[in-house]
Amino acid sequence: MPDKITTAGWKHVRMYLPKPQKQCDCHVNDPPPWTGEVHGLSQALMSKTLTMRIFWWIVIIICISLGAFTTLLIIIEYIQGPTATSTTIRLVNSLEFPAITICPKIPDSFNISGIRGDIKESIPDISDKSADDLLEQVLKMMAQLNDLFSDTL
């Protein structure tokens, strides 16, 4: 075996890369790929005659206008906030009313002259006697209601 390996006796090896293949000419005149997605725009941009271009631009403008209009209607309807409400009525046999207690021993709790003044303000033509009778009837009715509901508890 030789001590040194030299390249003097070696042949140069050339690498041959394949030549690039020619692209077929069958798709040279095809429109750009985005034209399949935006049909009206591709028609407006690629039409051959001026009348067809004008027609397609009018169609595009009408479609965009109608889309914006319906979107605006939906936004307005959302902002106005119509809601659907469901109501259920349940009938019960009895209700528990709060207890009413009138304590005449404390003068601030039941002001007869103040109540009489309120009655006269609501019914201006009422006499003092009629106002007192009305107040007496209301107090009797409240006492009866209190007795009635205290018995049911």
Percent of the chain with pLDDT over 70: 71
Q: Whole domain around residue 41: which residue ranges? A: 32-80
Residues 6+ apart with CB under 8 A from 46: 31, 35
Q: Between residues 146 and 137, which one has the greater pLDDT?
A: 137
pLDDT at 52 over 60: yes
Asked if residue 122 is part of any domain, the answer here is: yes
Asked if residue 89 is part of any domain, the answer here is: no
pLDDT of residue 72: 96
Measure the CA–CA gap between 127 and 125, rounded to whole angstroms.
7
Structural domain count, the chain:
2
Measure the CA–CA gap between 57 and 45, rounded to whole angstroms.
9
Half-sphere exposure of 113 (CA within 13 A, CB side): 2
Cα 125 from chain centroid (whole Å): 55
Task: Name which of 43-47, 111-115, 118-122 the model is least confident about.
Answer: 111-115
Whether residue 25 contacts residue 12, with contact meaning beta carbons closer than 8 Å, is answered with no
Q: Whole-model pTM? A: 0.36
Asked if residue 132 is part of any domain, the answer here is: yes
Structural element, H or E, at residue 11: none
107: pLDDT confidence band, cut at 50, 70 and 90? low
DSSP 8-state symbol, 105: T
SS3 113: helix
pLDDT at 1 over 50: no
Closest by CA position to 115, among listed 131, 129, 102, 126: 131
Asked if residue 46 is part of any domain, the answer here is: yes
